[in-house]
Amino acid sequence: MVTLDRLADVLSGYGVRVRLGAVARSIPLRSVVIHGPVTDPTETGDVLLGIGARSIAEVMAWAVSARATVALIRGGEDTGDAPVLEDVAVLEVDPAVAWSEVAAVVYGLVLEGRETEAGRGPTDLFALADSLADAVGGAVTIEDHRSRVLAYSRPQSHLDPARVETILGRQMPPWLHELFDECGVFAHVAASEEPLFVAAQPERGMAGRMVAAVRVGRQLLGSVWVSCPTPLRGDRRAALVDGAHTVALHLLRSRASADLERHVESELVIALLEGAADAATVASRLGLASATIRVIALRARVHEPHTALLLIFERATTGFGWSRPSRSALIGDTIYTLLPADHPTTARRWISELRAGLNDQLTVLAGISGVAQATEVSLARREAEECLALHETRPAGTPPPAYDEAWADIVLQRLRTAGLAGRTPARGPLAQLRHYDRTNSTQYVATLRVWLQAQGDPTEAGELLGVHENTIRNRLRKMAEVTDLGLDEPRKRLATLIELAVTESPGTAPYPQ
């Protein structure tokens, strides 16, 4: 169910802002009514589209008559002495955005909310591409603002290798993108509503084509490409322009539905991450009732992490309905994904696929929890966060750690964290030994660590350090002269090994010479 808060949040991206009203933002919206300036409304609805209203006072009167909670009015209309009603919120529409476009978003959000939760998707863009191809007489490709293929028509007579490569790769290939950029195609699409013809380049395997921008107000949503040997004229050109406007409406409806789906999904994922009492029910609503789940925590390492997080989240939640195996939520500076996966390899494969769809300069850091049931997701979240923190300390290109494989490193990381808070001994045998090493350029601490890891075997310790076993024995005797380590006592040996593990940095060489 869509609330006023959600409607205002989504519409703000299309030039709509809250103007007046003291309505609770959590109030649910279930229906839409359109009213014009000539006749009184005979229908009622929660959201009123005040098409033709000449003032806020007028649209508020219509809203009261239609029993509406929200009223939309064109920006710039006379505000006059408009009253502020406690039960009506007024949203102002940017003059650059057409009413038809606003209506598409409102209907998509308010009326398709239940369809989204049920897994039903927006109108088929492929059918629209086929219809437009018939009208213009050429093969059609619909792409988003990042040149990713959204839909394409059935094969036509004007097929060329460039179009085939674009469709098979689901994105405009780099060489073609560079070619259009050099020709000023993208600059034209960004600035103009007029279709542009791009001449054929047979030596590059590209036939002629015409492109039209898909735009909502000032915002570019994508483009429509038509394969044609010569520029489209007359009715065919008009069909392309009209088709681009229709595609804009479809993309608006699709975006509104996708935004709503992400919102519903995120709320359910957050409930599981926070340990919901009805975890089994929530998991069932997410389609994860019988799955063994791993929590994946994701962050970005770039100069603008917030923008990068949104790109990662969009990529992680791409796909309508429950076609994706994963369920994700963005909390603060971390994306949490619930993924059905018995083995860490499955989670790492999912992360690799996610990275493949992002900019090469964007570094994705990740941590993978152990397997969990729905009631254990809150515990798995902490495991994923600790694995993510561990991944942040490792060299670039290191595979994301999984808790069931890296638990020992996690334990040591916890102890190091405590040590950084000043909870490791500032004095004692090891502190004295480190001071002696610094003063005399010896390697007693390193020797002691390797000897303990070799469980007191001087032969193995010597092999690891590349020295004779008698050298190890000699160093141990000299250590005893520097400080009383108490290595004959098991508890002191264990305490010494723990302190060494905690105080060494993660990148310390295992066997220094």
Distances (CA, A) of 233 to 228, 236, 240, 244: 11, 6, 10, 15
Cα distance between residue 417 and residue 411, in whole Å? 10
The Cβ of residue 286 has, within 10 Å, a number of other Cβ atoms equal to: 21
- pLDDT at 256 (0 to 100): 63
Q: What is the CATH number of the domain that holds 109?
A: 3.40.1390
Task: List CB contacts of 259: < 8 A, sequence separation 6 or more.
Answer: 10, 109
Are the beta carbons of 67 and 52 closer than 8 angstroms?
Answer: no
Distance of alpha carbon 135 from the chain centroid: 37
Are the beta carbons of 318 and 121 closer than 8 angstroms?
Answer: no
Residues 439 and 347 in one domain: no
Packing angle between helix 174-182 and helix 161-169, nearest 10 degrees? 120
**Cα-atom radius of gyration of the chain, to the nearest Å?**
32
In order, the DSSP letters of 209-240 are: EEEEEEEETTEEEEEEEEE-SS---HHHHHHH
Q: Tens of pLDDT along the chain (513 residues)?
A: 678 877 887 777 667 888 766 778 788 887 888 875 554 555 778 899 988 888 888 888 888 888 898 999 887 655 555 556 668 888 888 887 778 778 877 876 776 544 444 333 444 688 888 889 989 989 999 998 888 888 888 766 556 888 888 887 888 999 999 999 999 999 999 999 899 999 998 888 888 999 999 987 777 889 999 999 999 999 999 999 988 988 887 887 677 666 767 777 888 999 999 998 889 888 888 888 777 899 999 998 876 667 778 778 888 887 644 457 899 998 888 999 999 999 999 999 999 988 887 777 788 999 999 999 999 999 999 999 999 999 998 888 899 999 998 888 888 777 777 666 666 666 778 888 888 988 998 989 889 989 988 888 899 988 888 899 899 999 999 998 888 888 888 888 888 887 887 776 554 544 454
Q: What is the CATH number of the domain that holds 454?
A: 1.10.10.2840
Residues 291 and 230 in one domain: no
Nearest to 402 by CA among 272, 294, 502: 294
* 512 occurs within a structural domain: no
Cα distance between residue 223 and residue 8, in whole Å? 27
Are the beta carbons of 101 and 217 closer than 8 angstroms?
Answer: yes
Are the beta carbons of 248 and 128 closer than 8 angstroms?
Answer: no
Cα distance between residue 401 and residue 412, in whole Å? 14
* 136 occurs within a structural domain: yes
In order, the DSSP letters of 261-302 are: HHHHHHHHHHHHHTT-TTHHHHHHHTT-TT--EEEEEEEEES
Residues 369 and 436 in one domain: no
* 511 occurs within a structural domain: no
Burial of 433 (0-12, 13-18, 19+ CB in 10 A): buried
- pLDDT at 122 (0 to 100): 41
User: Residue 198: helix, strand or coil by DSSP?
Assistant: strand
Residue 306: give the domain boundaries.
278-419
Residues 241 and 142 in one domain: yes
* 106 occurs within a structural domain: yes
Residues 58 and 87 in one domain: yes
- pLDDT at 104 (0 to 100): 72
- pLDDT at 6 (0 to 100): 77
Domain C-terminal end among 419, 439, 470: 419
* 189 occurs within a structural domain: yes
Nearest to 254 by CA among 119, 369, 421, 104: 104
Residues 52 and 107 in one domain: yes
Neighbouring-strand partners of residue 366: 298
Domain count, the chain: 4
Residues 101 and 148 in one domain: no
Are the beta carbons of 177 and 149 closer than 8 angstroms?
Answer: no
Q: Which amino acid is at 464?
A: L
Task: List CB contacts of 383: < 8 A, sequence separation 6 or more.
Answer: 295, 367, 369, 370, 403, 410
Cα distance between residue 366 and residue 353, in whole Å? 13
Cα distance between residue 246 and residue 123, in whole Å? 11
Residues 472 and 411 in one domain: no
Q: Which residue has the tokens 């505000």?
A: 79
Helix (H) and strand (E) counts in the chain: 19, 16
Residues 411 and 430 in one domain: no
Compute the Cα dihedral for 99, 105, 106, 111 and give only its sign. positive
Nearest to 366 by CA among 341, 399, 317, 344: 399
Q: What tokens were used for 111?
A: 């009326």
* 258 occurs within a structural domain: no
Q: What tokens were used for 406?
A: 């890296």
Task: List CB contacts of 32: < 8 A, sequence separation 6 or more.
Answer: 45, 46, 47, 48, 49, 103, 106, 107, 110, 111
Residues 404 and 376 in one domain: yes
- pLDDT at 455 (0 to 100): 86
Residues 173 and 237 in one domain: yes
Residues 330 and 448 in one domain: no
* 270 occurs within a structural domain: no
- pLDDT at 468 (0 to 100): 92
Domain C-terminal end among 116, 135, 166: 116
* 308 occurs within a structural domain: yes
Domain C-terminal end among 89, 116, 143: 116
Q: What is the CATH number of the domain that holds 392?
A: 3.30.70.270
Cα distance between residue 419 and residue 499, in whole Å? 9
